[in-house]
Amino acid sequence: MAKTEVILIQNIVGLGGESDQVKVAAGYARNYLIPQGLAVPLTGANKKRIESLQKRRGAREAHEFSTMSELAKSVSNLIAVIAVKTGEDGKMFGAVTTGMIADQLKTQFDIVLEKRKIFLEHPIKTLGEHIVELRLHTDVTAPLKVRIESTTPAPALPVAPAAPAEGKESRARSESRGHRRAESVHAEEAVVIESAESGAHREKKPRAPKPEKTEKREKHDQPEKGEKTEAKAKKSEKAE
């Protein structure tokens, strides 16, 4: 393939900056660079333009450095939020690319940044926060926080079964039975105490004297033996 030398008039990514002399394919120079005003053929007359192009390039790079330095300070405090679809297991469908991040910077912060200045070792495939490096300039880099969130609604939590409520009622009934049982025990203890006190009072009450037997009363009414002997003697004297 035939090559030709040209002088770049504008900065071309991957090729060079103003005033650079580069070799490119003849067809590429003839059909694209020269018609678009991005380069001119390398001739004696065009070489005179190199000095002015170098000055313009220096001014452009100084402006870019200043602009990118200010941008680096700004993006360090930003969090780009990108919403993605996920499955029920939380896994993403696809991955987040540099183009998606560049679009989000434009949409969320109105920052226009070429995606080639966003560096990713691998596309982002997990939710959460990630640190992405922005290569804003040859001498300027900045970290950017990117938060990946899911747009898929969280699964509904299962409805709690009614068993716990029944458990509460059962516990309430058990507690009620416990209270009633305790009250019954207290009542029984009170009855026992009252019975014991009543028995103690009954024991202290004096008992009525038992009546003497009839035989003892009859014996007490009969005359003594001396009186019987005296009566017999009197009868004996009357008989004589």
83 in the same domain as 146: yes
Domain boundary among 150, 182, 212: 150
What's the half-sphere exposure (Cβ side, CA atoms, 13 Å) at 196?
A: 6
Determine, yes or no, domain membership for 172. Answer: no
Cβ-based neighbour number of residue 2 at 10 Å: 8
**Of the candidate ranges 138-142, 184-188, 208-212, 231-235, the one whose mean pLDDT is the lowest:** 208-212
Domain boundary among 129, 150, 171: 150
Determine, yes or no, domain membership for 199. Answer: no
Determine, yes or no, domain membership for 38. Answer: yes
Question: What per-residue confidence (pLDDT) applies to 42?
Answer: 87
**Residue pLDDT, tens place only, 41-50:** 988 888 888 8
Question: What per-residue confidence (pLDDT) applies to 174?
Answer: 59
Query: What confidence category does residue 240 fall into, taking pLDDT thresholds of 50, 70 and 90?
Result: very low
Determine, yes or no, domain membership for 144. Answer: yes
Q: Once rounded to an integer, what is the mean pLDDT over residues 163-189?
A: 59
User: Looking at per-residue confidence, does 148 or 234 come out higher?
Assistant: 148
Q: Once rounded to an integer, what is the mean pLDDT over residues 165-177?
A: 59
What rounded mean pLDDT belongs to the chain?
Answer: 77
User: Looking at per-residue confidence, does 225 or 5 come out higher?
Assistant: 5
- Total domains present in the chain: 2
**Residue pLDDT, tens place only, 144-167:** 999 999 988 766 666 666 555 555
Determine, yes or no, domain membership for 130. Answer: yes
Residue 101 reports pLDDT greater than 90: yes
144 in the same domain as 86: yes
What is the β-pairing status of strands 128-137 and 140-150?
Answer: antiparallel
89 in the same domain as 144: yes
Question: What per-residue confidence (pLDDT) applies to 38?
Answer: 92
- In the numeric block, the tokens 């987040």 are attached to 96
Rounded Cα distance, 181 and 208, in Å: 44
Determine, yes or no, domain membership for 98. Answer: yes
What is the CATH classification number for the domain harbouring 38?
3.40.5.10
- In the numeric block, the tokens 């998606």 are attached to 100
Question: What per-residue confidence (pLDDT) applies to 157?
Answer: 61
- In the numeric block, the tokens 């991005």 are attached to 38
Residue 173 reports pLDDT greater than 70: no
Domain that holds residue 34: 3-48
Find the DSSP H helices in the chain: 26-28, 44-47, 50-75, 98-109, 163-204, 214-221, 225-239
Determine, yes or no, domain membership for 9. Answer: yes
What is the CATH classification number for the domain harbouring 135?
3.10.430.100
Query: What confidence category does residue 140 fall into, taking pLDDT thresholds of 50, 70 and 90?
Result: very high
Q: Once rounded to an integer, what is the mean pLDDT over residues 17-22?
A: 89
Domain boundary among 101, 135, 150: 150
